[in-house]
Structure 1
Amino acid sequence: MARAFTPKVVTANDLLEGDVIYLTTANTWTRELQAAELITDEAEAQLRLLEAQSQPQIAVGAYLADAKPGEQGPEPTHFREEFRRTGPSNYAHGKQEAKLEATADV
């Protein structure tokens, strides 16, 4: 028996910068998971994935990631997606560097 469909977001990596990106309801890409479209219909999820995959000049490796509704927007349900959205862990750069700079200014 097939598993019941769970909510998803479309995610990929930015072609030029490598950052994790998410597809929005406006068919644009964002680096913020909370701004991503939370898809609750399986057929719609497949259509949105095809739309993402048709944009290779922007996004690479698009796939559907499990997510859940949260107060601020979609939230990851798996540690892999939490890890991807926070950025690399080997040293502070990109998103992590920006967070360090913001806290240093306080």
Structure 2
Amino acid sequence: MATAPKRVPLPAILLANDLLDGDVVFATAGDAAALVWTRDPALALVAADDAAADRLEAFATAELRGNKVVDAYLVDVAIEGRRPVPRHFRERFKTLGPSNRPDLGKQAGEGIASAPKG
């Protein structure tokens, strides 16, 4: 009997890489409750329950099939100051931008917080 893939702990956000420019993008709510991509991590839609996570995963599947993004997956987050902060280093690092140029990328502006506390 096959088992379903294990889902990350909730709350979670959906991140991916834009297929054309490679930038990290986040699923967010657009007009008429449709999901769209944003480059602003503060606007990432946070899935707090299984239904919301299922919605994000369905959006990821459709966007992957449509060749809009690559490497789309859910990331577990902590909420700090009303902002989602990835719990794992790899995802925090992806949300900031190039490590060799702190004056570029999301870390040069508001960006996502550097690390959850605790």
TM-score by length of 1: 0.76
User: Quick one: distance in 1 between partners of 2:7 and 2:52?
Assistant: 17
Residue of structure 1 equivalent to 2:26 = 22
Q: Which segments of 5 or more consecutive residues in structure 2 lack a partner in the other structure? A: 1-5, 110-118
SS at match of 1:37: coil
Kept after mapping to 1: 8 A contact 2:8/2:76: no
Kept after mapping to 2: 8 A contact 1:13/1:19: yes
Residue of structure 1 equivalent to 2:116 = none
Query: Over aligned residue pairs, what C-alpha RMSD do you find?
Result: 2.7
Which deviates more, 4-13 or 23-32?
Answer: 4-13
1:58 and 2:68 matched: yes
Written as runs of structure 1 = structure 2, the 5 A alignment for 1:11-90 is: 11-26=15-30, 27-56=35-64, 57-89=67-99
Which deviates more, 39-48 or 11-20?
Answer: 39-48
How far off is 1:11 after superposition? 0.6
User: Quick one: distance in 2 between partners of 1:19 and 1:3?
Assistant: 24
Q: 2:108 aligns with which of 87, 91, 99?
A: 99
By percentage of residues, which structure has more strand?
2
Kept after mapping to 2: 8 A contact 1:5/1:42: no
> Percent identical across equivalent pairs?
35
